[in-house]
Amino acid sequence: MVGASELILCDIGNTSTKFFINDEIKNYYKNDEIPSFEEEIFYISVNEKAKVKLLEKNPQAKDLSSFITFKTSYIGMGIDRAVACCFQKNAVIVDAGSAITVDIIENSVHKGGFILLGINSFVKSYENISEKLKVDFEKNINLDKIPLQTKDAILYALIKSIILPIKEICKDKNIIFTGGDGEFLSSFFKNSQYKKDLIFENMKRIIDANDCIA
C-alpha cells in the first residue's frame, strides 16, 4: 500500500493514468503497474482498459462522473472535457494532450468544440508518410518567416495548423490552456492563461459541491 493522504484524484486518459496526490501529479503509462492505495480515490476515465486496471488494484475508487451534471448538445463528449469546462462562464478551454480539444463556453453554455491532433501525433503523422519527413519537435520555430527547409516547413505548418483555428474561434474570449503542451501553446495567445491542474482543481470543486466524501 502507498502511504497516507486524505484524498486521491485520478484522471484516466488515452495514453496515461494521472494521480493527483498531495498537490503533485504522478503519471503511469500503459505498461506501468498501478499502485494500491489505502485512501479514498475519485476518478474520471475515457479509457475502459485503464479503468479496469485501476479498479483491480483499487476497488474502493469511485467514478466521479455520476456526480457531474454538464449540459451540452455535443454528442460523445469525453468526461475529461466536461470536467475541464465546468464552472466557466465565457471562455475557450484548450486541453493540449495526446489530442488537443477546444471547447467554447458562452454565458455558461457549452456551444461546442473541435479536436486537433496533439503535437506528438502531428509530428508522427509526417513520419508515417515518409522517413524524409521525420523531424524532432522544437519550440523555437519562427512563424513570421516562410520556411526554406523541410524541418522548419513541417514545424511551421504544425504550429500554424493548431493556433489558427483556435484564434479564429476565440476572438476576444479568455482562453484557458491545460495539458502537457498547454503552457507552450498559450505563449501564442495574449488573452490566455495556463492552468496545469485545471481538471484536478475542477474535480475537487465537484466533490466539494456534492459533499461526496464519505
Residue 67: DSSP 8-state = G
Determine how β-strand 109-117 pairs with β-strand 174-178: unpaired
Cα Rg, the chain, nearest whole Å: 19
For β-strands 99-106 and 7-12, DSSP reports them as unpaired
Q: What residue type is assigned to position 139 of the chain?
A: K
Going by C-alpha positions, the residue among 164, 140, 153, 75 that lies closest to residue 113 is 75
Q: Which residue has the cell 502531428?
A: 122
106: Cβ–Cβ under 8 A, 6 or more apart, which residues?
90
Provide the H-helix boundaries in 130-186: 150-170, 182-186
**Active-site residue among 11, 80, 95, 181?**
80
Phi-psi region of 22 (alpha: psi -120 to 50; beta: other; left: phi over 0): left
Cell 469546462 belongs to which residue?
85
Active site residue 136: no
Contact 176, 88 (CB under 8 A): yes
Catalytic sites, residue numbers: 80
